[in-house]
Structure 1
């Protein structure tokens, strides 16, 4: 009989629902590896539990509820992670709550609780790792569980996998374009000579910028990502170590760059001396990051044996959900 694995999905917004739908669509393939059963689904308002596991049909019906709609179900309970673990004992905890870069909550406490209950963790929430990367990894090792976090940085490109595959390299620096919203805005400003405010409106119109874009424009999202990448390559820093300069670019700045064959990019970096920052930078057209436009992301990794540049998609909803599923499969193996 195949090993059974019970999953708790904590955070049931657009990514959570896409992940659950993907689980049902890929169930035939997944069953070759293990018998996965979703036994808990929670959003900000409540949770539903089923120790025997929800059927694919029941999961699809949950996905059809309005956002934060679990509370409307008669079987819904108040969100209580301790109760969840005592009732259904999940083996894999999927953390998809929104990022809180001040405290990491509720994701940080949820992940700690999961690890202490000897559950593997898969997270798309960057904040807990950005704030407590080494502590969480140490706790996971102590409890003999894994943490999967492929979807936290460049979720549409196997960046984390690549970094984990070069353990023998000594990474000296990382420079990256890690935020799709700000890169799209700067591309629009360069190509169409529109002010930053109009570029933001266009980003919001196509759904890649939030109504409140401060996490992108103030550098929080990029800062969290450079912290995670730095820790993956054994350069330990925390979010509070990253100097953030908000994105504020005038059309006159763009015009000057165009005259000098340069471009402005919003760069997140770890320097050889350990300094980490996020700020707008003028780049020569010869720089590998200069031609990365639109919603693409890129990293340039400086090592003792040369540079590695990787360009690809960031973490859209579908890409993130696929990476979450890949991590779920990965922690089982």
Structure 2
């Protein structure tokens, strides 16, 4: 249950992060955003590990664990984040979200194949409900442009047209590429943390961020983007910094969840971020997103799915007087 709760917290903060990124990329570039958000994780995880007394755990990781955590950091914070930023800028947070559900399929297949995890009826029902929830928000929208409001919320809104024009080819391509990175990284995190507990997950997050920062720095310098990064405007810098803090907390919760709960539980629950994004995007970016309806219904359905994932078969059997056939069904697992 604790692992599921941590996964929900990770989903909520990750969704808030995506909404703030959407605001930032209206005026800032992808390189500028990554130059702020990726390195920020190093001091934040360092402080968290130091304050909790888990900094020394970095030296206790095996070479395999260090390689897995470094790979997770590179795949998630460099590859996945770059592709996510490109997709978000092209088509908006809410159109990116459904496509990125593909990362759950990648994660589940790899968790069963590499980690020896299995699916149970409760997990299958939970995953199905979580995947169903966001689809309830997808409705066909007309192409009529909205009139420009006379009330401008921020300087950004004063300079941008009210109607957002998505770039679908770019957005869908980079959504799929980000899904591959985000789908592989939980497997590497689970391998790297070696079931050593929540405290050690802070040290694991530090290793992942150090590796990601080193790789991104090499790419940034090699591409000659340093002067461009330094030219970021104040508004974009503010939102990227806010995003960096949010994604730190998201990863803190996620690594903690991965350290104590199976990937087949944590990753599906983390998909709740798709619904949380709708609320945060409505709050932060009402003029720059494509919104669907039935959000409350979708949220309820997905939360029921999250509950199903966190319940064990023993708890269900203790709460409900089930016939023998139902008990046998609950105890089934694959593979």
TM band (smaller chain): under 0.3
Q: Tell me which protein shows more helix as a share of its residues.
A: 2
* Structure ranking higher on relative contact order (CA contacts 8 Å, 6+ apart): 2
Structure having the higher strand fraction is 1
TM-score by length of 1: 0.24
TM-score scaled by structure 2? Answer: 0.24
